[in-house]
């Protein structure tokens, strides 16, 4: 996966670049990252954002930390009736005067590898309107 330092300006997909958009969670082997636990509420809300893909790509990225060299997508179970394939899209969340852009693999990084995103991102996930709301769609409809 492409590595970007947390809180650096977003530049990955040209069509998805917007003002005041910053990277969070673009991890790659060979680069250290902050580790720690987050709340269950954060995990649940992050999953809701990751389940609403933005800036989809044709292929997918695999987790470089799991040790598998197989180029297969990461499939997680959401509940008994549904699952989610991670690694082929991004998610967006609004914070105070900023937008955060993350690969959807961020959910895996946080829950499996204990990646601890910046506090500002965590607060945005906990406080921002969810992707199922009109407020969210109004802000990001051009990226869907």
Structure tokens at 32: 């250290």
Q: What is the mean pLDDT of residues 131-136?
A: 94
Is residue 129 helix, strand or coil?
A: coil
Q: For residue range 51-97, list pLDDT tens digits in order.
A: 999 999 888 888 899 876 655 667 877 776 778 889 999 999 998 89
Q: Is 101 left (phi over 0), alpha (psi -120 to 50) or beta?
A: beta
pLDDT value for 114: 97
Nearest to 88 by CA among 37, 38, 140, 53: 53
Residue 66 DSSP label: S
State yes or no: pLDDT of 38 exceeds 90: yes
């Amino acid at each position: 996966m492409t590595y970007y330092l947390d809180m650096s300006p977003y530049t990955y997909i040209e069509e998805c670049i917007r003002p005041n958009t910053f990277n969070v969670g673009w991890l790659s082997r060979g680069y250290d990252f902050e580790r720690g636990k987050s709340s269950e509420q954060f995990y649940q809300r992050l999953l809701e954002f990751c389940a609403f893909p933005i800036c989809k790509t044709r292929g997918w990225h695999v987790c470089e930390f799991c040790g598998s060299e197989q180029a297969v997508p990461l499939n997680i179970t959401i509940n008994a009736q549904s699952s989610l394939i991670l690694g082929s899209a991004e998610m967006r969340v609004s914070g105070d005067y900023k937008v955060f852009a993350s690969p959807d693999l961020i959910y895996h990084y946080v829950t499996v590898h204990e990646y601890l995103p910046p506090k500002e991102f965590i607060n945005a996930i906990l406080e921002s309107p969810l992707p199922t709301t009109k407020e969210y769609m109004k802000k990001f409809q051009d990226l869907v």
